[in-house]
Structure 1
């Protein structure tokens, strides 16, 4: 499902100008998806366990259950990778997998909707044991940092930290 440079000719590459030597991050694919950035692929390869996804059908079913677009970055990531025990020096929150070994993301998402009464467009990406989590916004593709203690501010649109995309978030999380 991943795009390759020979097929991706729908636009110029995106360039990271924040570095001394600008680097190409990704190129949009003709299907609207972005290719998983090389930097992210390298960070994932350094994680423990077998991170390559073999059972794509379970991911497709989970995406449908959560109403997540198959052309989203979240779908692109989970169709290619399984979250094993990703190590992060940036966060203590543990990322959950969408399908293996269970539907942890669906369970967490149901909890944040039913118990914390968060909007239906938000999907929980982490465990919720610390009364907070990282959320994926289905509408925008952004990742939001949620704390139950700041729920009212969060619902009023005052978020503490957010990332423009899943890939941006994962690079931060794994770096």
Structure 2
């Protein structure tokens, strides 16, 4: 099973999978917002966020948000303006814990970055995943401990 199939399987095991699928109007809106944020239409991030409301997922870690909703879009902009996060990184968690998960639009990677660690983005000094699908498999897999 490839990573995309693993993510789809894990998504189907969510308590309310029918709630997290987007209708065509929401998909179009998401398409427009993601393009404005520099997300490539052939990326894993684009593919999942245009299909699902990932903010409704139940995970064991920081709460994911949909960067395309008005409040979350403001959060992505806030990270750029106030935290000096480079434009190619999109915050897709609440940021309330003084940091969060950032998607890199240039290489499809995901970074776990706290405030004060911005200068470490893109280095091996921060926890990161080489693809959005790898991150999602980790995020959606129940913690066994």
TM range (shorter): 0.7 to 0.9
Partner of 1:98: 67
Partner of 1:173: 139
Provide the aligned length of Structure 1 versus Structure 2.
137
Q: What TM-score results when the alignment is normalised by the length of structure 2?
A: 0.84
| Unaligned residue ranges in structure 2 (runs of 5+) | none
| Contact kept in structure 1, 2:67 and 2:76, CA below 8 Å | no
Alignment partners' CA distance in 1, 2:35 and 2:58: 28
Partner of 2:2: 25
Alignment partners' CA distance in 2, 1:156 and 1:88: 25
User: Relative to total residues, which structure has the larger helix share, 1 or 2?
Assistant: 2
1:76 matched to 2:47 = yes
- Bigger Cα Rg: 1
Q: CA offset at residue 144 of structure 1? A: 0.5
If asked which structure has higher relative contact order (CA below 8 Å, sep 6+), I would say: 2
| Unaligned residue ranges in structure 1 (runs of 5+) | 1-23, 27-36
Q: Tell me, what secondary structure is at the counterpart of 2:84? A: coil
Q: What TM-score results when the alignment is normalised by the length of structure 1?
A: 0.71
* Mapping of residues 1-175 of structure 1, within 5 Å: 24-25=1-2, 37-49=4-16, 50-54=19-23, 55-89=26-60, 91=61, 93-99=62-68, 102-152=69-119, 154-155=120-121, 157-175=123-141
Q: 1:84 to 1:157 in 2, by over 3 A?
A: closer
Q: 1:84 to 1:126 in 2, by over 3 A?
A: closer
Q: CA offset at residue 161 of structure 1? A: 0.6
